[in-house]
Amino acid sequence: MERPADLVVRRARPEELDALCLAFPSRPRVLHEERLLQQEGGHGPYVIAWLHDEPVGHIQLQLPDERDLDAMLEGRGAAWAEDLWVKPSARGRWIGPTLMRVMEAEARRVGVERLVFFAGVSPDYAAARAIYAWMGYRERRPEPFIESAVIADDDGATHVYVEAVTIWEKDLA
């Protein structure tokens, strides 16, 4: 994997909130805020890729949380990777796999033994699925199921997110 020379992949800093909102407007401000707060609280880093000093991609690691029974049961106690995304203008430079690698390194550092995440089954996610398979992740079961959530928008409205997904997982140990 060749990494662009001017690519930096690291944890977000609280003072970078405005830059993240500007660079990733398709994610509401409250979501970036929540991820920064979760990172600060030790629940898992919010990993950002910077190219030429501009944020171009993100992924979040959510460490196992014993108070979140749904996530514990569905993940069978594993840590969750959330929302891998690279700006369309920065795609095709292996930034997505680099974000995954850095997130895995963060997970290993705190003793995570297994990672899980949802991936869409539509053609829109063909790149992501190819990358996951290449990195050694496997689908737990081939049958898709529906993931849904109500997302708060920046203008105070909400929208519903619905996607057919499968669960992917990998042992890090």
Ligand X SMILES: CC(C)(COP(=O)(O)OP(=O)(O)OC[C@H]1O[C@@H](n2cnc3c(N)ncnc32)[C@H](O)[C@@H]1OP(=O)(O)O)[C@@H](O)C(=O)NCCC(=O)NCCS
Shortest Å, Cβ 67 to ligand X: 25
Minimal distance in Å, beta carbon 25 to ligand X?
Answer: 15
93 lies in the binding site for ligand X (CB under 6 A): yes
Residue 169 interacts with ligand X (CB under 6 A)? no
| Best CA proximity match to 84, nearest among 134, 110, 120, 41 | 120
> Any contact of residue 125 with ligand X (CB under 6 A)?
yes
Is 149 among the residues that bind ligand X (CB under 6 A)? no
Paired tokens of 107: 């997970």
Site for ligand X (CB under 6 A): which residue of 7, 51, 95, 167? 95
Please tell me what DSSP assigns to residue 85: E
Locus of tokens 């991609």? 57
**Residues in Cβ contact with 17 at an 8 Å cutoff, skipping those fewer than 6 apart:** 29, 32, 33, 36
Nearer to ligand X by Cβ, of 97 and 144: the residue is 97
**Binding of ligand X by 105 (CB under 6 A):** no
> How many H-runs (helices) and E-runs (strands) does the chain carry?
5, 8
Instruction: Return the DSSP state at 156.
Output: S
For tokens 């705190």, the residue is 110
Helix (H) or strand (E) holding 37: helix 29-40
* Residue from 96, 101, 18, 106 nearest 62 by CA: 106
Nearer CB in complex with ligand X: 29/93: 93
Q: Tell me the residue number closest to ligand X, measured at CB.
A: 96
Token pair for 102: 């850095």
Minimum distance from residue 30 beta carbon to ligand X (Å): 20
Q: Which stretch, 12-20, 32-40, 126-134, 144-152, contacts ligand X (CB under 6 A)?
A: 126-134
Q: Among 65, 71, 97, 139, which residue interacts with ligand X (rule: CB under 6 A)?
A: 97
Site for ligand X, rule CB under 6 A: 84-86, 91-97, 119-120, 125-128, 130-131
